[in-house]
Amino acid sequence: MATRGPSYGMSAQVAAKIGAKRDPQQEAEVQEWIETLTGEKFPSDYAESLRDGIILCKLANTLVPGSVKKVNTNKTQSFKLRENIENFQKMAKNYGVPETDVFQVVDLFEKSNISQVTQCICAVGRLAQTKPGYTGPALGPKQSAENVREWTEEQLLAQKQMKGEIGLQMGQNKGASQAGQNFGLGRQINYTEPQ
């Protein structure tokens, strides 16, 4: 990991804004959900435990067995740890998580945007509840299902006929005019001829 000095100016403001998005309660719920599914406790704090990607790979293999073929546990090689994170990202995308919900590797590895990591795991948790055969705990609200409506020909025809009408709930504009309105005095300009 690159060593970075303290942030100043706009960089500090951006870092503070991203840090303020973190929700400790949501992180605790995500941590409990992961620990319940994988059967392992986090060895340290939330962000540091997820940083190497090992727990995420175990979560991926719990949800989709065999999705991560090799979990790299050598913590001295940072590119191998980044590969763990990439493997979780691939599983999340294949699982159905939208691209916009998936975090970047540096968000987790450099702990620069942990709230985005939490959002991605929550998206995986929402999708897990919709998968057949999933019996684990729920994480967040259940994702909504498609609600297809069937319209009869009569209903469609009635809708077309009503399009040109203005309903009584919309009010009326009969006699609406701005004629005669006067808001304050008119502009008064005094002109004097030069001498």
pLDDT value at residue 179: 66
pLDDT value at residue 166: 60
pLDDT value at residue 1: 47
53, 85 in Cβ contact below 8 A? yes
Tell which residue, 103, 51, 58, has the closest CA to residue 81. Answer: 51
pTM of the model: 0.68
Q: What is the 8-class DSSP label of residue 153? A: H
SS3 label, residue 81 = helix
pLDDT per residue of the chain (195 residues) written in tens, 0 to 9? 456 667 778 877 777 766 667 788 888 999 999 999 999 899 989 889 998 999 999 999 999 999 999 888 887 888 888 999 999 999 999 999 999 999 999 888 888 888 899 999 999 999 998 888 888 888 887 777 778 888 888 888 888 877 766 665 566 666 666 666 666 666 677 777 777
pLDDT value at residue 178: 64
Give the separation between CA 89 and CA 95, rounded to whole angstroms. 10
> What are the structure tokens assigned to 120, written together?
């991605």
Tell which residue, 94, 18, 19, 86, has the closest CA to residue 52. Answer: 86
pLDDT value at residue 138: 86
In this structure, the number of other CB atoms found within 10 A of the CB of residue 23 comes to 14
Tell which residue, 100, 121, 98, has the closest CA to residue 49. Answer: 121
pLDDT value at residue 149: 86
Instruction: List the end-to-end C-alpha distance of the chain, in Å, as a whole number.
Output: 81
> What are the structure tokens assigned to 122, written together?
């929550």
pLDDT value at residue 32: 93
Cβ burial of 18 (10 Å; 0-12, 13-18, 19+) is middle
pLDDT value at residue 4: 66
